[in-house]
Amino acid sequence: MTDDTYVHEPGAGRTAADSSDADSDDDGPDRRDEYPRNTPAETDAEFDWRGWLLVGAVVLAFLVVPGMLYVLPTVQEAVASLGLGLQHTYLVLPLVPAFLLGTIAVWSAVRSRAR
C-alpha cells in the first residue's frame, strides 16, 4: 500500500535565494521556534470566574432547562399562575440560556479583541 496523502510543509521547497522574497510572511525558523503559534500564552490558560460563568451557563442550558421542560406538565398550575400558557412556556424557557450564552459569547469576543 502506498502513502498518497499530501502533507503541507511550509518551508520544504525553499532555497536560500527564495527565503529573501519580499512576499514572505515568515521571519525564518528562528522566529518560528521563538513563539509557537498553536500554544496559548500562560495568561490565556487560566480558569477563573469567567470560566465558571461559562460552565454555569452550559449547565443551565443542557441540564436545568431541559429538566424544567420535562417536569413542566406536572407543574402546569404554577406556570398558569405566572400568566403563561404551556405552549408559551415551552417557547420562552429555552430562550433564557440562549440569551445568556449569547451574551457571554459577545462579552468574551469583545474582551479578547481588547487585549
Q: Which residues contact 15 (CB under 8 A, 6 or more apart)?
A: none
Cell numbers representing residue 33 in the block: 521556534
Distance CA 115, CA 106 (A): 15
Residue 8 confidence class, pLDDT cut points 50, 70, 90: confident
Sign for the CA dihedral angle at 86, 89, 94, 97 comes to negative
- pTM of the predicted model as reported, rounded to 2 decimal places: 0.55
**Per residue in 22-80, pLDDT tens?**
455 555 555 555 555 666 566 556 778 888 888 999 999 999 999 998 998 888 888 88
- Which of the pair, 51 or 11, is modelled with greater confidence? 51
SS3 state of residue 24: coil
- Category of 28 on φ-ψ map: left (φ > 0), alpha (ψ -120 to 50) or beta: left
